[in-house]
Amino acid sequence: MDRVPLPDYLRRPIASLDNAENKKVREILKEFNLNTVCDGARCPNKCECYSNLTATFLILGKTCTRNCAFCNIEQCVPDLPDEHEPKNVALAVKKMGLNYVVITSVTRDDLDDYGANHFCKTVFQIRKLAPNVKIEILTPDFCGSYESLLNIIKYKPDVFNHNVETVERLYPSARQMADYKTSLGVLEFIKENSNDIITKTGLMVGLGETLDELHQTFADIKKAKVDILTVGQYIAPSKKHLRVEKYYTLNEFETLENMARKVGIKYTIFAPLARSSYRAAETYTKVIVDK
């Protein structure tokens, strides 16, 4: 079956090295030997974010121990974590003059704590070198380890983000090494054990899900007491990845957002190019103001 062509409203320019801000971000990343999910996952918003002197840092290496069929991150046996990375991230955050930072990682099922302590060290170093910066972490599921999650809670990130990614039925094809209920359980555990941490999750649409399945997923996310939900269009990184079954229109995104609001999710970002860290600082501010 032929693939559905990419609609014009989903096309974005490739980030230009000629842009001064873009160049500065790349120089800082190179100086501190850091990776970003913007590059690794071929994010369509990279041009916009780099031009605004920001980026989503990717820690724990560039290779992942899982094989999600939608993801562009390389999948193989990773190197040991870089012990200097937490401080280098903090130095880069300070040099970039960020007020809000998002830290994510590859999945590290090969590590005893699944990489949780590396997140903690990174949060600690940022708080030490740039104490006024708000910190959002976008984590893997840590295999549902309560010990790892309790360790994260001790370091009090401002926002804890873990993506459910898709509806439960599609996990075997999209997230073969993950579990829907485990992802929801991670979000619920954080909120139950530290109500002051804002929780957040994200979904992709266009993988073949139905409206009823999305409604159920929204209800499950609300039941887990998640504060913020982002929903964006899945775009296949290559022909080797999971194919796009549907491109949602702008009106359909508005319909989905209304559906999520009706089940009680108050803070939402639904847009074709919305990704986990898209307008993260703006949404965080809305939650804090309401509190």
Q: What is the pLDDT of residue 162?
A: 98
Q: What is the pLDDT of residue 205?
A: 97
Q: How far apart are CA 34 and CA 50, in angstroms?
A: 14
Walking along the chain (291 residues) 10 residues at a time, the average pLDDT comes out as: 70 60 82 75 50 74 88 82 97 93 94 97 98 96 98 98 98 95 98 97 97 98 98 90 94 98 97 89 92 75
Q: What is the pLDDT of residue 40?
A: 42
Residues 6 or more apart in contact with residue 27 via CB below 8 angstroms? none
Give me 160's structure tokens: 């804890």
* Domains detected in the chain: 8-290 (3.20.20.70)
Q: Each residue of 185-210: pLDDT tens digit?
A: 999 999 999 999 999 999 999 999 99
Q: Please choose, from the candidates 43, 152, 59, 162, the residue with its C-alpha nearest in 3D space to the C-alpha of residue 104.
A: 59
Q: What is the pLDDT of residue 34?
A: 92
Q: Where are the beta strands (DSSP E) in 117-271?
A: 134-138, 159-161, 198-205, 228-233, 267-270
Q: Each residue of 28-52: pLDDT tens digit?
A: 888 999 988 655 445 554 455 554 5
Q: What is the pLDDT of residue 133?
A: 96
- Is 273 strand, coil or helix? coil
Q: What is the pLDDT of residue 16?
A: 53
The amino acid present at 114, given as its one-letter code, is Y
100 phi/psi in degrees, rounded to 5: -145, 135
The pairing of strands 159-161 and 63-64 is: unpaired
Q: What is the pLDDT of residue 54?
A: 59
Q: Is the pTM of this model over 0.85?
A: yes
Name the residue with tokens 């039941």. Answer: 223
| Cβ atoms of residues 35 and 62 within 8 Å | yes
- Is 119 strand, coil or helix? helix
| Cβ atoms of residues 134 and 99 within 8 Å | yes
